[in-house]
Amino acid sequence: MPDRYSFSSGFGRGRFSSGGGQPWFVVGTLEFTTTVTLIAANIVWMFVYAAEGREHSLTRRLWLTTEDLLGPGVLGGEVWRLVTWPLVAEPSLWTVIGLAFFYIFGGQMEALMGRRHFFSFILALTLVPAIMVTIFDALVPSFAGLAGGIDMVQFGVIIAFVAQYPTAKFFFGIPAPIMIGVFVALQYLSILADRDEFRLVLVTAAIATALIAFKSLGYANSVPWIPSVPLPASATGASTAPTRPAAKQRRPRRRGRGNLKAVPTRPTSPPQYPLADMEIDSLLDQVAEQGLDSLTKDQRKRLEEHSKRLRKRRDQ
């Protein structure tokens, strides 16, 4: 693996794409990959957030939250919160920066994994942290918090990127593992300062899900310490077709004498006009010494007849 990883993105290609990922559908020149669809949803929701008023009644129903903090929550039956929370973002500069990072890294990972694997990966990054938060909400009475926007999903995608390309370098030539290590450390320092149990569970679950899910899908093979879980072949894309046994090589059959059949040879017909070999040899010697003109008509006729008989016998 080279020391530097060369980024490529859809910017500057004349259309908005996601670094090579296969789109789910296309509207005009806009290719809706998983990456682009999530970014578009967050952008649209920033306008909805600004238009719905100070109460933000719709946004409050879509965020991931604990029971009774912003409504019944998942435990109260609002199960859609498990999947809607990454789609609803507040308008801010940090939201835009996060979307830009997600576009770059998400496009790279989607091109690497393919749209089906990448969608499964994003779905795991959405569901597993939300389920873990819901479990803690059911078990810990003082557990409270909320989450919304693409930040945690984007964080997991970047962690998976570093696991796949551990020798890559980020800004100013800083190795990618060091850069992501600093980000993780800052996350936990902030959590410690705020004593935020909700965020502690959310961040830890996002990191663990990103690494384990990514490794389980068949990536990050150069990092052996990342655990993986066995997945069905339909999830990993492995072929389930049974392998055909190798054909047995036939041994050449040895034929004994008992298998041999006698092939009758065509009997050669005896010459109808036998000539003495000495006479023919004498004629040939004469031609060789004196030339063909030295032969009489009778001698030439005999030699021609002998030549015809030889050709006829050869053709039989």
Percentage helix, strand, coil, to 5, in the chain?
Answer: 55, 5, 40
Residue 14 inside a domain? The answer is no
Q: Which domain holds residue 137?
A: 25-235
> Do 70 and 134 form a contact (C-beta atoms < 8 A)?
no
Average pLDDT over residues 178-184: 94
Residue 246 inside a domain? The answer is no
Same domain membership, residue 281 and residue 157 = no
pLDDT higher than 70, residue 167: yes
Same domain membership, residue 193 and residue 137 = yes
As a dihedral over the C-alpha atoms of residue 232, residue 235, residue 239, residue 240, rounded to 10 degrees, the angle is: 40
Closest CA to 124 of 234, 251, 209: 209
Same domain membership, residue 191 and residue 87 = yes
Same domain membership, residue 195 and residue 103 = yes
Contacts of 162 (CB under 8 A, 6+ apart): 168, 176, 177, 179, 180
Residue 35: strand, helix, or coil: helix
User: Bigger pLDDT: 98 or 297?
Assistant: 98
DSSP 53-85: -TT-HHHHTTSEE-TTTSSSTTTTT-TTHHHHG
Same domain membership, residue 280 and residue 227 = no
pLDDT tens digit sequence for 196-243: 999 999 999 999 999 999 999 999 988 899 998 887 766 665 544 454
Domain boundary among 205, 235, 265: 235
**pLDDT value of residue 170:** 85
**pLDDT value of residue 65:** 92
pLDDT higher than 70, residue 4: no
**pLDDT value of residue 188:** 96
Same domain membership, residue 96 and residue 48 = yes
pLDDT higher than 70, residue 181: yes
Contacts of 96 (CB under 8 A, 6+ apart): none
pLDDT higher than 70, residue 259: no
Same domain membership, residue 45 and residue 144 = yes
Residue 20: strand, helix, or coil: coil
- Rounded Cα distance between 96 and 51, Å, is 18
Tokens read off for 199: 């965020």
Same domain membership, residue 158 and residue 58 = yes
Least-confidence region, from 87-91, 140-144, 205-209, 252-256 = 252-256
Contacts of 46 (CB under 8 A, 6+ apart): 89, 90, 91, 95
Strands 25-27 and 64-65, by their bridges, are unpaired
pLDDT tens digit sequence for 102-153: 999 999 999 999 989 999 999 999 999 999 999 999 999 889 999 999 999 9
Question: What SS3 string covers 166-190?
Answer: CCCECHHHCEHHHHHHHHHHHHHHH
Same domain membership, residue 176 and residue 46 = yes
- What pTM does this model have? 0.69
Average pLDDT, the chain: 81
> Do 35 and 115 form a contact (C-beta atoms < 8 A)?
no
pLDDT tens digit sequence for 26-75: 888 888 899 999 999 999 999 999 999 888 889 999 999 988 888 888 99
Report phi then psi at 27, rounded to 5: -120, 105
The proportion of the chain whose per-residue pLDDT surpasses 70, expressed as a percent, equals 78
Q: What is the CATH number of the domain that holds 177?
A: 1.20.1540.10
Same domain membership, residue 156 and residue 284 = no
Mark 167-203 as b/e (b = at least 16 C-beta within 10 Å): ebbbeeeeebbebbeeeeeebeeebeeeeebbbbbbb
- Rounded Cα distance between 170 and 176, Å, is 6
**pLDDT value of residue 18:** 44
Residue 301 inside a domain? The answer is yes
Domain boundary among 235, 255, 284: 235
Amino acid at 109: M
pLDDT tens digit sequence for 65-76: 988 888 888 999
Same domain membership, residue 283 and residue 213 = no
The proportion of the chain whose per-residue pLDDT surpasses 90, expressed as a percent, equals 50
**pLDDT value of residue 172:** 81
Same domain membership, residue 134 and residue 46 = yes
pLDDT higher than 70, residue 255: no
Model confidence at 248, pLDDT cuts 50, 70, 90, reads: low
Closest CA to 38 of 103, 82, 134: 103
Least-confidence region, from 81-95, 128-142, 301-315 = 301-315
Number of domains in the chain: 2
